[in-house]
Amino acid sequence: MRTHFALLTVVAACACLCVPARADEIPAAPAVPVAPAVAATPVEAPPAVARPDSALLVPLLDALAAPAEHRPERWKQVAASADPRAVAALRYAALHDNNPAVREAAILLLQQVAEPSAVQALVDIATGVENLRPQRGALDALSRHVRKEGVDALYRIAANLDGDMETRKAAVETLGRDHPQVLTDRGLPQLGGSAVLSTLGGGFFGGWALSSVGDFAGTRSAGAIGWVAGSVVGAGSGYIFGRQISTARQHYYLSALSWGSWAGWLSADAIIHRPVNPNTGERISEHESGVERIRAGLSLAGELAGLGLAVLGADALNLSSQDVVTVDVVGVSAAVATAGALALATPQEDQRPGYATLLAGSLAGLGIGVLTAPAMRFSSGDVALTAYGAAEGAYYGGFLASVFRPDRPEYGGMGLGGGLGLLGGMAIAQHSAMTVGNVFEVALMASYGKALGGGIALLANQDNDNGKLVHLATGAAGMLAGVWLSDVTEYRGGDRAIVPISTLLGLWHGAWLGVLANDHQWSSDRSNLMLGMTLVGGSLFGLGGVALSQQTQWNNWQTTMGSSGAVWGAWFAGWTLALENDTSDTASAGRMLLLTDLGLATTALLMSPVVDADPRVLAGANFGGLCGAGLAALFTAMFTTDSDAIIKANLGGSAVGLALGGLLARVAISDDKPVKAARQGSGGGAWKLPGWVRWPFDAVMAAPHAGADGKLSGVVVQGVAVF
């Protein structure tokens, strides 16, 4: 496999030569000659003019075809082309050539190339990329590179806590030998990682190990004493050794201990069959039968075996902290999926095959993780996609299990689906460019699909299993639609606010339409009718909000204020209904929906281009309406206990407050003095909430304002200038 990658690299390097180079893109040759170890004569500086591709292509092909003893001289001719593209070819030779002399020659030639890419190539060679061993000579080349960035790169290698410990030590030694002042100015890098992880992990596994030894005594006190003594010994050992190894190696060894202990534990249950008491016919307890001691012994043996194998393979695997986490996630996912599948299977009298299957699934997942983790990289979007895959897998697995395996626990399907979903999400993430926002949109569309399908199934009075399948099918359709829409939709300003507001309005309308339908006895099942209408309304309005958000240019203020009329419509409808004693469900639902939509239409029209009202005017009206309602109800309650009188005062105060608040805001905003927001100090880069979290609170912010002369002239509260 490595040979194939190497050949592909060479083909790519040759192909890049077909791109014509401009004269102003080709720099002059480096003034520093090639190291004497490579050739006795320095490379002649070529003229600073455009050279044909053959100047690089011919020596490159010669170098690839030449025997080992002649390749150093051929690579010298490649470097003499003074073509920046030669760096890729030299990097290939330093990494993949089978002859150590050729690799050393390529490293020395890269030392003389005055290109930033040459520094990065030496970093790759020094740290060991593509599962290759690090090369010490590249550290010396970085230390003596013609560009000063080489020393900076060398220090970064030494300071990388996740890097290979031997490489980091060698980098520190090289800096101390060639650039001691750099270590003095920047500080000596800490060669060991933080000992916190190794101390905690060592304490736990030390306690576990000695408690397992104590279990052989057959007394509870021995196990407790083992926990205490082992924790002290393990924590101390972890602290001492943790200061000497990188954080990545600490993760690696602790993970190996965990998996070894897990494998030993399962091995006991996969081997031992608990005997049955011939008198009672029941299984003898694990403590009396000795199974408990055997399990403890195998668990301890597994710890030691896991640690030993990890030590032997540490340098060959050279896993980073992210790689170790990836391995653990893959292994745990495989174990969970296997356990879920076993839970769905028909129970057997002999449980040993089940435990053996779980052990095999865990080890298979662990092996797959070790093989694939170094090639995996995860952005924030990839992490979100992986987590979403696990969530959807568990969701679908639980429902499908309840349909097709009703006699088995649903958590079995959730485990199987969640494990497979997480593994599938990880695999897809390696070939996906989705952002966190894209994943959220996919999840949102899938939720709308599930709600729509579930609501339709309830309204159609489908039986439980068919309803679940319809629910899952429409959810899958919504998910696919979300994947497609994630590439074509774009959310700016108030677009993110439109979608949740539309969803809430849909749930509101669906619930009241359910009340209306129930009053007309459209269905014999009132609960299904109400819930079905609510789900259908929320999903349809939500989908409409997604479509509407792509057609509007409103900001968060305009969206929030443009929908505030729905709240006031429901407010007036609710309080007027409270004044009436005998109101049918049809009348209540009709009035609630009519006034809600009337209020929404009013504020939406005010925000539309037809009227183009300032959103601060509506903010002032809303503020005035709340104040008017509260003050009117308060003063009325001071003189009477009649609830109807208080409600009427509340309604009157709301109406007057809305009018006065909007009028005062309009007068303040129409003042001919220009008003601008006063500059506020950054506060050293204060953290801000994301826009999608912050938008509901934008309308209740307060900030100082200044006039045209630059002096503070007032304060803006909810967009209303107060002077």
Q: How far apart are CA 75 and CA 68, in angstroms?
A: 11
The predicted pLDDT at position 208 comes to 80
Whether 447 contacts 474, CB under 8 Å? no
The structure's pTM equals 0.67
Residues 313-323, mean pLDDT to the nearest whole number: 86
Average pLDDT, the chain: 82
Residues 670-683, mean pLDDT to the nearest whole number: 41
The token duo for 459 is 């309204």
Q: How many CA atoms lie within 13 A of 222 on its CB side?
A: 10
The predicted pLDDT at position 544 comes to 95
Whether 81 contacts 55, CB under 8 Å? yes
pLDDT at 147 over 80: yes
Secondary structure (3-state) at 276: strand
Residues 94-106, mean pLDDT to the nearest whole number: 88
Q: How far apart are CA 561 and CA 619, in angstroms?
A: 7
Q: How far apart are CA 143 and CA 364, in angstroms?
A: 44
What would the DSSP string read from start to end of 209-221? HHHHHHHTTT-HH
The predicted pLDDT at position 62 comes to 79
Whether 164 contacts 128, CB under 8 Å? yes
The predicted pLDDT at position 30 comes to 40
pLDDT level of residue 344 (50, 70, 90 thresholds): very high
* High-pLDDT (> 70) share of the chain, %: 82
CA angle 215, 217, 218 (to 5 degrees): 70
Of the two residues 24 and 255, the one the predictor is more confident about is 255
Residues 509-522, mean pLDDT to the nearest whole number: 88
The predicted pLDDT at position 592 comes to 94
What would the DSSP string read from start to end of 382-426? HHHHHHHHHHHHHHHHHHHHHHH-TTS-HHHHHHHHHHHHHHHHH
Residues 54-71, mean pLDDT to the nearest whole number: 82
Whether 201 contacts 166, CB under 8 Å? no
The predicted pLDDT at position 287 comes to 66
Q: How far is CA 413 from CA 145, 223, 340, 405, 464, in A?
A: 59, 37, 6, 9, 17
pLDDT level of residue 507 (50, 70, 90 thresholds): very high
What would the DSSP string read from start to end of 62-74? HHHHS-GGGHHHH
**Cβ count near 272 (within 10 Å):** 17
pLDDT at 711 over 60: no
The token duo for 137 is 């000579």
Of the two residues 558 and 223, the one the predictor is more confident about is 558
What would the DSSP string read from start to end of 144-159? T-SSTHHHHHHHHHHH
Whether 110 contacts 88, CB under 8 Å? no
- Pairing mode, if any, of strands 720-722 and 712-717? antiparallel
Q: Is the dihedral of CA 121, 127, 129, 134 positive or negative?
A: positive
CB within 8 A of 361, min separation 6: which ones?
334, 335, 337, 338, 339
- Pairing mode, if any, of strands 720-722 and 702-706? unpaired
Residue entry with tokens 């030694």: 173
DSSP state letter for 26 = S
The token duo for 634 is 């308060």
Task: Give the bridge partners for 702, in sequence order.
Answer: 717
Of the two residues 346 and 11, the one the predictor is more confident about is 346
Q: How far apart are CA 90 and CA 73, in angstroms?
A: 12
Residue entry with tokens 């609710």: 574
The predicted pLDDT at position 347 comes to 87
Q: How many CA atoms lie within 13 A of 667 on its CB side?
A: 7
pLDDT level of residue 720 (50, 70, 90 thresholds): very low
The predicted pLDDT at position 180 comes to 87
The predicted pLDDT at position 220 comes to 64
- Pairing mode, if any, of strands 676-677 and 712-717? unpaired
pLDDT level of residue 21 (50, 70, 90 thresholds): very low
Q: How far apart are CA 650 and CA 555, in angstroms?
A: 32
pLDDT single digits (tens) 158-204: 888 777 777 888 888 888 888 888 888 888 776 665 678 888 888 88
The predicted pLDDT at position 713 comes to 52
Task: Give the bridge partners for 703, in sequence order.
Answer: 716
* Residue spans per domain, the chain: 2-186, 192-275+285-317, 501-659
DSSP state letter for 377 = -
The predicted pLDDT at position 219 comes to 63
pLDDT single digits (tens) 524-560: 788 889 999 999 999 999 999 999 999 888 888 899 9
The token duo for 382 is 């990839």
Task: Give the bridge partners for 550, in sequence order.
Answer: none
**Cβ count near 665 (within 10 Å):** 25
The predicted pLDDT at position 14 comes to 44
* High-pLDDT (> 90) share of the chain, %: 41
Residues 41-64, mean pLDDT to the nearest whole number: 62
Whether 607 contacts 613, CB under 8 Å? yes
Residues 593-620, mean pLDDT to the nearest whole number: 93
pLDDT level of residue 688 (50, 70, 90 thresholds): very low
Residues 709-717, mean pLDDT to the nearest whole number: 51
pLDDT level of residue 710 (50, 70, 90 thresholds): low
The continuous run of DSSP H or E covering 677 comes out as strand 676-677
CA angle 712, 717, 722 (to 5 degrees): 50
